[in-house]
Amino acid sequence: MDLLRGSEPLQPAEKDVIREAADALLFCEAVDETSGAMDCLMGAIELGQDLVNSERWPNARLEWLVSELSECGPGPVESVVPIPASV
């Protein structure tokens, strides 16, 4: 993911949350309530929402993050994960 390699001003722990979600999605068979990937994905989305709320990210960046993570998994995550509304 370019987000983890680029000039995005993320702390190492923040990058770890996103990397863990991408890895979990990459190796899961399905994203549902019983999936460990769902927990990781929700953690990354919560992090993104915190970044939006603290004005470190625009809301469009959070939407982009969800889209990028969706590409790592077995199918679209937008259908199983509520996308946070604009702030």
pLDDT at 31: 78
> Average pLDDT over the chain, rounded to whole?
84
Cβ–Cβ under 8 Å, residues 69 and 44:
yes
**pLDDT (tens digit per residue) in 7-38:** 568 999 999 999 999 999 999 888 777 778 88
CB within 8 Å of 45: residues ≥ 6 apart: 62, 65, 66, 81, 83, 84
Entry pTM: 0.81
Cβ–Cβ under 8 Å, residues 55 and 10:
no
User: What count of Cα atoms within 13 Å lies in the side-chain half-sphere of residue 47?
Assistant: 20
pLDDT at 87: 43
Q: How far is CA 41 from the centre of its chain?
A: 5
Distance CA 72, CA 56 (A): 24
Cβ–Cβ under 8 Å, residues 62 and 45:
yes
Q: Which whole number is the average pLDDT over 36-46?
A: 91
Percent of the chain clearing pLDDT 90 (strictly above): 46
